[in-house]
Amino acid sequence: MEYQDKVRELESRVEDLSSLIHVTNIISSTLDLDELLGLVMEKAQEVMRAEASSVFLVNEEFNVLECEVALGSHGDKIIKTIRLEKGQGVAGWVWQQAASLIVPDVTKDQRFYSAADQQSGFQTKSILAVPLQNKERIIGVAEVINRADGNEFTDYDLDLFKTFCQQVAMAIENARVHQIELEQERLRQQLESAKEIQQSFMPQKLPQGENGIFDIAARNLPAISVGGDLFDVLMLDDRHVGILIGDVSGKGIPAALYMARLMSDFRFYVQKHRDPGVLLDKLNDLLVDRSRHGMFVTLQFAVVDIWTGKIVHGDAGHLPMVHIRDGRAEPAVRASGAPLGVLKSIPFDNGIMQLAPGDMLVFYTDGIIEAMNTKGEEYSFDRLLACLNRHWASAGQVIEECLKQIYRFTKSSPQNDDITLVAFQWNKAHSMS
């Protein structure tokens, strides 16, 4: 009899090992975390011949254990909201101590947390609990509850469940990594879509000066997929070009949404108010009325009479445009004005400039002068002036050369802010003949 008992025990262990291998293949077959947890608990009951099972995962944000899945004879009362502090309940103790535990009789163990039974109607008698460990980090605790034959869990059961849980921990971590990758890819696709939508608010084609009367070029480079810089160039009538540039506070999707709505507002109001000071006043009151989370925008708007070279411009806290004449670059005199969206009823004055044939204006955002190199040095306004301080063949040449100089300065440093450049060159007065 003793020999037959040993044979049966050996056969049972071989069967357990075979089941373990089979289960390992099953739980490795999915990268969906919810599906995986369901499989794990189902197979844990099967392998361990238990009435029920539970898996708790560590919620690192709140530093608690959360019961994600509970199966068994009362599977219609699955608990998904129970949380345990470190040291609370059997699972909390296993998490805190980083040690496995057999509880033969929960009525005699003060560590048992009875709230789960009270909520589900299930009666826990004994528990086998093992930490789910990935390398040195505990990511959760797995339990099997009540041996189906009514006996106590043994040390052999514990060893078997530990082996099972090693594979479970690895599968859970793989599923989590996959889930993160899927989420990142989904977010990347959303940002790409948002970028395309945002770029559609920028002018897709710049106005062309008839007979070369003016030349204009522009470039917008968001620091991430979407950003808060904006520009617009439009013919207000047959002799006036409107040039807008701005920088919304912040980056990312909130700034992009703010920018998109502002562009729509600008195109609506510029049809009624071409005077820069009046236009900025209207936009400011509108932005203050719907201001959220302290966001604001610096803005610059210039109206160029391409027949005469006269410019009327308004400024709302933006950087001074650069005026280039005969190869010499200097900051233009700024019109006074605070950023838009901060305070209502702020006066915005107009500035007036007169261009000579060949003169050029360069509009830009602070992503250019604040671009940093690997030493933490900023590109600076002085470097921008030095770059612009020469004779230029075209507006496009200005844009390309400026960006080339910035890339050369920053080298491998990441772009930490949106970059926008607009260059306008007035070439000749309108012929009346």
Beta bridge pairs of residue 248: 297
Q: Letter for the amino acid at 305?
A: D
Q: What is the pLDDT of residue 75?
A: 46
Contact 38, 182 (CB under 8 A): no
Q: What is the pTM of this model?
A: 0.64
| 404 CB-near residues (< 8 Å, 6+ apart) | none
Task: In the chain, list all ranges with CATH 3.60.40.10.
Answer: 193-426
Q: What is the C-alpha separation between 145 and 105, in angstroms, rounded?
A: 11
* Class of the domain covering 193-426: alpha beta
pLDDT for the residue numbered 7: 45
Interval 123-171: pLDDT, tens:
899 999 999 998 889 999 989 999 999 999 999 889 888 888 888 888 8
Nearest residue to 422 via CA among 243, 196, 256: 243
pLDDT-derived band at 97 (thresholds 50, 70, 90) equals: very high
Q: Residue ranges of the alpha helices (H) in 202-251? A: none
Better-scored residue on pLDDT, 190 or 340 = 340
Each residue's pLDDT tens digit, 231-258: 999 999 999 999 999 998 877 777 778 8
pLDDT band at 16 (very low <50, low <70, confident <90, very high): low
Residue 276's identity, in one-letter code, is P
Q: Which of 13-17, 30-34, 155-159 has the lowest mean pLDDT?
A: 13-17
109 — phi, psi (to 5°)?
-125, 115
pLDDT of residue 36: 76
pLDDT score of 4: 56
Mean pLDDT of 82-100: 92
- Please enumerate in sequence order all residues whose Cβ is within 8 A of that of 128, keeping only pairs 6 or more positions apart, or say none: 48, 50, 100, 101, 102, 103, 143, 144, 145, 153, 157, 158, 161
Ranges for all domains in the chain classified under CATH 3.30.450.40: 2-178
Nearest Cα residue to 231 out of 253, 255, 262, 210: 262
What is the CATH topology of the domain spanning 2-178?
A: Beta-Lactamase (3.30.450)
How many CB atoms are closer than 10 A to CB 60? 9
Query: What is the average per-residue pLDDT within 270-280?
Result: 93
- The pLDDT tens digits for 197-219 are 777 778 889 998 888 899 999 99
Instruction: Give pLDDT, residue 409.
Output: 93
Which is more confident, 254 or 342? 342
Give the whole-angstrom CA distance, residue 173 versus residue 258. Answer: 38
pLDDT of residue 300: 95
Phi first, then psi, for residue 326 (nearest 5°) are: 55, 40
Q: 412 versus 404: which is more confidently predicted?
A: 404
